[in-house]
């Protein structure tokens, strides 16, 4: 100023910006992040797919240090690799829907744990669960997976029989269907007179 230069201030101790320890928790839409199908926001979701399609199960979380993800199918631990070529990865967490003043430094630390099966089969059907755990705590998320068979339907068994009508029980993937009645025609042929609405 008009009086000239002043003496420099004393240096302050350095301050390190670091993530604070926190137990894992599932990211929800209320956290103000970009959600939607396949984002993992809200945890695992029930899935129905056809055999041969990719099975992808994401779950988005906050927590520090990053938690370890343990996957279970029908209560049994699942390991990566094997005949099903299962992969377990960690992807970036969903971004905030609103720009933050401090950018990524203001975001709560987190990630997205993902389990993939390149070509799903009937063996992948069942109850799935992921356990996210670090030194401060743990949280879980679960879903039901249904893998439909490659064939449209399979005749399962003859339910009842008389001289003019058969009733057959059908199976479509793992989904129960209604009865499909058929009439026995002359010449040992069968005439379909009804079908489940799903087919």
- Model pLDDT for residues 12-27, shown as the tens digit of each residue: 877 666 778 999 999 9
The Cβ-side half-sphere exposure at 183, using a 13 Å CA radius, reads 5
Average confidence (pLDDT) over 168-196: 48
CB-based burial, 164-184: b 16+ in 10 Å, e otherwise:
eeeebbbebbeeebeebebee
CA angle 81, 82, 87 (to 5 degrees): 25
Q: What is the pTM of this model?
A: 0.68
The answer to whether residue 116 scores a pLDDT higher than 70 is yes
Domain boundaries defined on the chain? 22-95+105-148, 154-192
Angle, CA of 43, 69 and 128, to the nearest 5°: 55
Q: Pick the range with the lowest mean pLDDT from 12-16, 36-40, 61-65, 116-120.
A: 12-16
Q: Give first-to-last CA distance, the chain, whole Å.
A: 86
Superfamily of domain 22-95+105-148: Immunoglobulins (2.60.40.10)
pLDDT value for 81 = 95
Work out the pLDDT band at 189, boundaries 50, 70, 90. low
């Amino acid at each position: 100023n008009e009086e000239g230069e002043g003496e420099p201030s004393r240096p302050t101790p350095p301050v390190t910006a670091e993530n604070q320890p926190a137990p894992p928790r599932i990211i929800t839409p209320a956290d103000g992040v970009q959600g939607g199908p396949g984002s993992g926001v809200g945890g695992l979701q029930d899935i129905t797919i056809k055999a041969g399609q990719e099975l992808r199960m994401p779950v988005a979380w906050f927590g520090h240090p990053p938690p370890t993800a343990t996957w279970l199918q029908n209560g049994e631990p699942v390991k990566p690799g094997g005949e099903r070529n299962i992969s377990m990865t960690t992807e970036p967490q969903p971004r905030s829907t609103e720009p933050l003043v401090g950018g990524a430094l203001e975001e709560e630390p987190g990630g997205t744990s993902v389990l993939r099966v390149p070509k799903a089969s009937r063996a992948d059907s069942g109850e799935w669960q992921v356990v996210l755990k670090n030194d401060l705590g743990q949280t879980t998320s679960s879903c039901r997976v249904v893998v439909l068979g490659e064939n449209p339907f399979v005749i399962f068994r003859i339910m009842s029989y008389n001289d003019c009508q058969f009733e057959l029980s059908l199976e479509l993937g793992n989904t129960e269907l209604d009865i499909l009645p058929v009439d026995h025609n002359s010449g040992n042929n069968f005439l379909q007179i009804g079908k489940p609405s799903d087919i």
